Amino acid sequence: MDRAQRRINRRLAIAAIVLGGAAAAVSAVLPNGKLARIERRADCYVPAAIPPVETLADGRKTVWLRVLLWNVEGLPWPIRSGREPKLAKIADWIAARRRAGRGPDILILHKAFTPEASRIPGAAGYASIAPGPALDMKRGLPAAKPPAGYADGAHWWKGEGIGKWLDSGLYIATDLPVAVTTSESFGDDSCAGYDCLSNKGGLLAMLQIPGAPEPLYLFNTHRNSREPAKVGIARAEASHRLQTQENDAFLAGLPADAAMIAAGDFNNYREGDKSGRFADDPAFRLAGKGSGFAARGVPMADIAAWQQAYDLIGYRSGSALRVEPLSVATLFDGKNGPRLSDHDAQYIVFRLSWRGDAAPMPILRSPCPNRK
C-alpha cells in the first residue's frame, strides 16, 4: 500500500470515529423513544363517559363528538429546550376540561416525542390511548418507489440514512369503544432531511359508536416537512409525495365508502396532497372555517382552508353514517389562549347521524361491569 493510500485510509478512519462519536453523543441526550411511548387499551367502555345518542326532529339518531387536534411541539433537546412547563400546561388544560365534562371526546396529537408530551393523554384519563409507529417498527407494506436518483441524494449530515432516533410522536386517545388500532411507518427511504430521525407514518383506529350502524375510522399522520427538513425543496416535496402514496396503501384495506375522520400535520397544501385517496375522493372534505366558529366543508384543493391552519381535519360520510362538522375553533394561538406550541390547537365539533330504523352494529367492547 503506498503512502497516499495510507493517508486516505487514515482520514477515513478518523472521519468514521468522529461521526460515530457525534452520533453517540447526540443519542445519549435524546429521550428514549421506547420509554416515552404510552399505550392503553380498554377492554370495556363506561357509557356515562361517552356522548349520548339523541334523536333529531326528523327521526334520525345523532351523536356529537368534540375532537381536539394538536401538534404539541414535544421535541427533545437539543432541538428544543424548556418545553416541559408548556407541555404541562397543555396536559393540565385538557385534564381540567375533562373533569368539567367539557373535554374532547377524541384527542389527536402530533410530535409527542418526549415523556412530558406523551403523558398528556394519560394525564387526561382517557380509557384508550393508541400510539403510532414505534421507534423500531419497520414498514410492512411495500414502500413507494422513489424518483430516479432520490436515494443517491441522501446526506447523513442532514439526518438521512443514520437510523431512527425517535418514534412517530402520533397518538389517538378516547373513551369511545375502540375495536382495533393499527399503524404503519413510512419507508426508510421515503423521508427527507431531519424528518428522517423520527419514525413517522400513519395510525388508524376503528371506533364503534353504540347504536350506530357502522364504525367510524380515525386516521392520524404526520408527513415530511418542507423548510424545517433543511434539504432542497424538490427533495422535501418528493418525500411528501412518497409518504402520501404510502398513507394511501395503508388505507387501501378500508372500504371506499367508510366513514372517516382523518387528521394530520400535512405541513400545508403540498404536492402530495394534490393526488391520492383524499384528493381523488369527492366525498372527502376538509373541515374549514366559516363565519365565526361555524365550520364549512370544502374540497382538498380549497386554498383558503389550508391557509387558515397548519393542521387540518378532513372527513367523509359512510354508506350508513353521516359525518358533518358543525364548528371549528383555533385555540392557544395568542388570541384564544397563550401560545403553548409552535402549532395552534384545532377544536372541531362533529355531528354523526344515522337513520332511526337502522340496525346497530355489534359492539366488540362491552359496557364495564358496575359502571354506568
Answer yes or no: pTM beyond 0.85.
yes
> Is 4 within a domain?
no
Average pLDDT, integer, range 106-132: 96
Judge whether 9 lies within some domain. no
Domain membership of residue 119 (yes or no) is yes
- Identify whether 131 is part of a domain: yes
Q: How many CB atoms lie within 10 A of CB 32?
A: 15
Q: Where are the beta strands (DSSP E) in the chain?
A: 44-45, 54-55, 61-74, 106-112, 128-131, 171-174, 178-185, 201-207, 216-222, 259-265, 285-289, 295-298, 312-316, 322-331, 345-354, 366-367
Q: What are 71-88's pLDDT values in tens digits? A: 999 988 878 889 999 999
C-alpha to C-alpha distances, 259 to 55, 219, 277, 303, 314, nearest whole angstrom: 20, 11, 14, 24, 11
Containing structural domain, residue 112:
31-367
User: What is residue 13's predicted lDDT score, i.e. its pLDDT?
Assistant: 60
Has residue 25 got a pLDDT over 70? no
- pLDDT tens-digit readout, 154-182: 888 888 888 899 999 999 999 999 999 99
Residue 5: inside a domain, yes or no?
no
Examine residue 78 and say whether the peptide bond preceding it is cis (omega within 30 degrees of 0): yes
- Does residue 191 lie within any of the structural domains? yes
The closest of 122, 104, 106 to 37, measured between CA atoms, is: 122
Please count the structural domains in the chain.
1
C-alpha–C-alpha distance, residues 83 and 31, integer Å: 13
CA distance 266 to 246: 14
- Determine the 3-state secondary structure of 171 from DSSP: strand
CA distance 196 to 309: 24
User: Whats the size of the chain, residue-wise?
Assistant: 372
Give domain status of residue 272, yes or no.
yes
Cα 52 versus chain centre, distance: 26
Q: Kindly state whether residue 35 falls inside one of the protein's structural domains.
A: yes
Give the residue from 319, 342, 324 showing the smallest Cα distance to 72: 342
DSSP 88-128: HHHHHHHHHHHHTT-S-SEEEEEEE-SHHHHTHHHHTT-SE
Residue-wise pLDDT tens digits, 221-255? 998 888 788 888 889 899 999 999 999 999 999 99
- Convert the pLDDT of each residue in 248-276 to its tens digit: 999 999 999 999 999 987 666 777 788 88
Q: Do the Cβ atoms of 75 and 105 come closer than 8 Å?
A: no
Of 114-123, 186-195, 301-310, 344-353, the range with the lowest mean pLDDT is: 301-310
Find the CATH number of the domain harbouring 55: 3.60.10.10
pLDDT at residue 23 is higher than 60: no
Confidence of residue 312 (pLDDT cuts 50, 70, 90): confident
Query: In the chain, what is the straight-line distance between the N-terminal and C-terminal CA atoms, in Å?
Result: 81
